[in-house]
Each structure stands twice: as C-alpha cells, then as structure tokens.
Chains A and B, each alone.
Chain A
Amino acid sequence: MRRDDEYEQDVYGTFGVRAGVVVLGLEVLAESPRAAGVPVVVVAWEPPAGGDERLARIVAGLL
C-alpha cells in the first residue's frame, strides 16, 4: 500500500517542483523554472517591519 506522498511524487516528480513554485525574493529566480514549463508565482515581497530587524523579531514573537 503506497503512501500519499509516494503517489504525489509520481505526479509532481521526486521533489514536487513541477507542481508549481513560489518565488519569494529575487524575481529573476522565476526565469529558469518558467522556461522549464513549471508554473511559477512570484510574491511581491517586502521585509517585515519596514526592514527593521529588531522590530521584525518582536513582531514575529507576538504572532
């Protein structure tokens, strides 16, 4: 009896990349997978707390 993730690997490949990729950060990273026919969605990412690392840690601790 195969496990669910084994069936998934059949459809989506061993690492699941062909099912689709989310890019967070440099938009240029979307190009290679797109060229290989993989659906890619790019997140318009901005740092939390306006880039203030200390505050971002505080916010993360509150969430």
Chain B
Amino acid sequence: MRAMIRADEYRDAGVLRGLTQHMEAAAGVRRAVAMMGAPRNLEVLRKMGLAPDYWPVPPKPCDLVVVAQADDEDAVVEAMRRADAWLAARPPAGALVAQGTPLDDAPRTLAQALARQPEAHFALVSVPGAFAAREARRALEQGLSVMVTSDGVSEDDEASLKALADTRGLLVLGPDCGAAILDGVPLGFAGAVRRGDIGVVAASGTGLVELASLIHRLGGGVSHAVGAGDRDLAEAIGGRTTLAALDRLAGDPATKTLVLLARGGSRAVLLRAAERAAAAGRPVVAHLVGATDGLPAVPGVSWATSIADAARRACELSGVTAPPWETAALVRPDYAPAQRWLRGLYVGGTLCAEAVARCRGLAPLSSNLGLDGVTHSARFRMPGHHLLDLGDEGYTRGRTHPVLDPSLRVDAMYNAANDEAVAVLLFDVVAGPETEPVEALRAALTAVRERSRARGGEIAMVAAVAGTDDDPQRRCAVVAALEALGVTVMPDHVTAVEAALALLPGGEEGR
C-alpha cells in the first residue's frame, strides 16, 4: 500500500472518482482512493484501513491524498505513476503554466461566471456541504435561484437561505436535492421525462425521480418537478420552497394538475402546503411518504397511499388512465433454515422511508433513517430486518453520493451475500444519465445469488427501477439485465416492497 500527498491541489469529487477508476484499471491494483485531506476525510480513510500508521507531514484540507492498495510493490508504483500522469494531463484551476497544454480558462468565481454569462438565472451548487450555504447565498444575492445538491447544510443555514430567497422572489431547491426537472430541463440525476401538464413538488431526489418516471410510464407528462429538500416542511423552515414552488406552478398555465410529495416534517406545515396547492385552482394529489391514511381532508386535495398511487392519481386527473401493471407471480425460493431477514439497501432516502413505513409490521426492525419506533443503526448488518439509506449524510462524508458512485452499495451487497441470515434483498435502482447501475452491481448481485446457494438456500432479490425508456440507459434494458441476474423487478417501488414482504420466509403469516 502506498499513499501520496499532493500539496495544495484541490480536485472536485467527480475528478477524484475518475482518477480512482483510472488507477483501479491497472493490473494488480485492488483499491484506490483519492480524497482531499480534510480531517473528516482522513477519518474515513482510517476507517477503511487505508491510512498509513503515521503521516510524515500531516495532510492539510487543501492537499490531495491518493492511496493505492495492490498485490505487490510494482503494481502500487504503477498505480501512483498512473495517478501522476492522469492529474498532470488535467491542470487544476490555479495552474499557471501547463507546459504546452492549453490552460483551462474557466471562471473561478461566481462574479466571473456572471460576467461571461450575464443572462444566467439559475445556479447548481454541489460543493462540499461545509461551503454550500455560502455559495448558495452568493448566488441568491446575485439574483439567481439555486439548486443545492450538497448535503451537510445545517438547518439554520437552510432557514436563512430560504428566508433570503423569499425576500428576493427566488427559490432554493434542496439542500440534498439530487434531481429536479425545471422548464423541461433535467437537472442532477433526473432523466428524460415526457413534458406534460403535471407539476410536482417533492421532498427530494429519488422520490422525485420515481414519481416523475412513473408518470411518464403511465402515459402522462411533467411540466416541472421541484425538489424542495427533505427538511423543507420542518417547522423551522416552514415549507418556504414548497410554498414558493407551488405559487410558481400556479402561475404556469401549462401546469394543470399538482402533486405534492412530502417526507417527514411538521404536519401543520404539510397541511398549509396542501391548502396552498389547492388554492391554485388545480386538482391536487398529495402524499406523505409512509402515511397510508389518517391525514385530514383538505378540499381539492386527494391523498395518495404511496408514491406509485400518487403517480396514478395525478395521471387520471390529467386525463390519462393506464391499466394496472402486469406482474408475474412471485416464486419463493427454498430458504435455508438460517435465513430469516429482509435487508434493504437504498440509494434514495425517500424510497427507503417508503419501504420502512410498509415494513412496520416486521420485528425486529432497524434502519439508519431516524424514525420513531424503529431501532436506529447505520451498520451494514443487523440481527433483524434492516433497511439502509446509503445516501444518508453519515455515509457520504468524503465520497460521492451512491446514486453516482455504486461502490458503497456494492460493499453492502457483498456483506449481505456473506450473511447467512438474510432471506430477501431489496434495493432501488435509478436509471439516470450519469448512473451505471447494472454493470457496477453485476458482480455483487452474482455473489449474492451464488454464495447463498452455496449455503444450501437462496437470497431472493427484489428491486424497483426508476427511470424511463427515453433515458440513455433505457429502463427496459436495465430491467432485463437485472432479471438476467435473477433479480425480481417490480413495476414500481411500493409493489417491490410488498413483493419483498410476501417473499419472506413464512410470507404474510410469518411476520
């Protein structure tokens, strides 16, 4: 193993991912990691067992740390050489002389960017969380609405940003909003969706993508899909983005039906949002993830029982009725006696929350989502039914979000493959523009099937795929590839959860 520190060389997460992929392509290299030398990243490195026992010169946050683990000395030297060459071919922003390579002329500040493109009205902020609020504030001060994909923004900062946005008539999407579709333009990992008259305001990323792609697959279309952020409906935030987005949609003649997809937050704020949506004079479908009933009636608002149900209702209100999905009958495998538990491995928090809500009848039940009545655990493995949101802040320190970088989920899947107590593996797949879902998971899913069979049983694998056939990775191709690996793919997420529950040993009666 070898570590290299490159002093004062900042590279963003996307570049670092490309670097590690390049290094890992070398023969004999088992693992390569590249991170900036901030304390929390070094901690991640240490937990991964890839930090040297002692740093001769401790890395600083502005230093780039590159670590390679390989079979032998030659391979590790080669990995570092590849890293040097790869980085040298891509001079960082501050490089002055690049020895013959044309220097990148990119603007280095927002002010310079706006001097280049004064018409810009929107900013996409994906910088590390500690700095995201400041960049978002600057963008707002310059009159741009902002989508913040970064997580790790404090609630106070979020409240302050959204208050500022309100005074300016601007919007803040997020934070931790990985996907949106605005003015027909997909942003983040949102894929291509038919343009239509259904306007969506959702808490965040995967829920928004699931909802929008279901609308498309049912034959409907989306005018806009706004990601308001998971905490927007909290009392402290007051639903500012949700309300502002609903007002904008109300002012858009092309939007004729509204969908409000909420997650957590304050009941009072949710109702205020539902009422505001209804006041827009369009039919409204609303859903609180995990809530199947018990919500007060709001005139003009129809409460859905799941994300999939919300999509169907919205399409019907839009004049599009699609037949129910066809699904093949489920086949429960011959489990080994030790197999008992459901393991959920999610990249999307909203979908994980929907799953946990459906699984409340199971015991013992744990998750890393902090939900009442559910044991909290962020470990990969638990003695019981366990559902993990791998996109949670606790996991994303120092690494790219699992929607874009599957390596964390792959690790978690191998853990499940080796766990004799797992009976059913449930996971979400987003077939979006930057994602490479099946190829990255292929080896891990094969391991899940083969290792469980070698133990005399089998792990049933169930998945839902969010996306459309219009995406570059066509949903139908992703589904086919997963099915070829033995995964049962259900047409939408809530059906996948129901299928997973039905497949547990003892089925409906076994809970």
Contacts and interface: CB of A to CB of B under 8 A. Distances in A.
Same complex origin of A and B: yes
Given A9-B251, A21-B124, A25-B127, A41 B183 contact: no
Nearest to A27: B14
Interface of A: 5-6, 8-9, 12-29, 31-33, 36, 38-39, 41-48, 50-53, 56, 60
Interface stretch (B144-152, B212-220, B317-325, B382-390): B144-152
B14 A26 contact: yes
Given A15-B183, A31-B433, A53-B130, A22 B110 contact: yes
A53 B39 CA distance: 10
A50 B108 contact: no
B147 to A, nearest CB: 9
B265 to A, nearest CB: 22
Contact of A18 (B10, B131, B134, B183): B183
Contact of B117 (A6, A22, A45): A22
B120 interface: yes
Nearest to B127: A25
Nearest to A45: B127
B13 A43 contact: no
Interface stretch (B49-57, B185-193, B271-279, B447-455): B185-193
Contacts of A6: 251
Contact of B185 (A26, A33, A45, A52): A33
Interface of B: 8, 10, 12-15, 36-38, 60-62, 92-94, 104, 106-110, 112-114, 116-117, 119-128, 130-131, 134-135, 139, 144-145, 149-150, 169, 171, 182-188, 190, 223-224, 226, 248-249, 251-252, 404, 433-434
A1 B144 CA distance: 24
A23 B190 CA distance: 16
B122 A22 contact: yes
Contacts of B128: 47
Given A25-B12, A47-B130, A56-B131, 13 more contacts: A9-B251, A15-B182, A19-B121, A20-B120, A25-B126, A29-B149, A41-B117, A44-B93, A44-B108, A47-B36, A47-B62, A50-B10, A51-B36
Contacts of A21: 120, 122-124
A12 to B, nearest CB: 6
A38 B223 CA distance: 17
A39 B144 CA distance: 14
Contacts of A42: 106
B293 to A, nearest CB: 33
Contacts of B106: 42-44
A44 B107 contact: yes
Given A18-B183, A25-B149, A46 B10 contact: yes
A50 B8 contact: yes
Contacts of A36: 184-186
A17 B113 contact: no
Contact of A14 (B8, B12, B190, B249): B249
A22 B61 contact: no
Given A24-B127, A25-B12, A29-B126, A12 B187 contact: no
Given A33-B185, A36-B185, A19 B130 contact: no
Contacts of B93: 44-46
B126 A50 contact: no
Contacts of B171: 15
Given A17-B182, A22-B114, A45-B12, A52 B252 contact: no
A45 B110 CA distance: 9
A33 B187 contact: yes
Contacts of B61: 47, 50-53
B120 A14 contact: no
A5 to B, nearest CB: 6
Given A24-B127, A51-B60, A14 B122 contact: no
Contacts of A45: 12, 93, 108, 127, 135
7 contacts: A6-B251, A19-B120, A22-B113, A46-B93, A47-B62, A48-B131, A51-B60
Nearest to A14: B252
Contacts of B92: 44, 46
B399 to A, nearest CB: 13
A41 B251 contact: no
A32 B183 CA distance: 13
A53 B251 CA distance: 41
Nearest to B120: A20
Closest 10 A-B residue pairs measured CB to CB? A51-B61, A25-B126, A13-B183, A16-B121, A50-B62, A44-B93, A20-B120, A44-B106, A15-B182, A25-B127
Nearest to B150: A25
Contact of A17 (B14, B117, B122, B190): B122
A22 B108 CA distance: 12
Contacts of A39: 117, 119-120
A15 to B, nearest CB: 4
B187 A14 contact: no
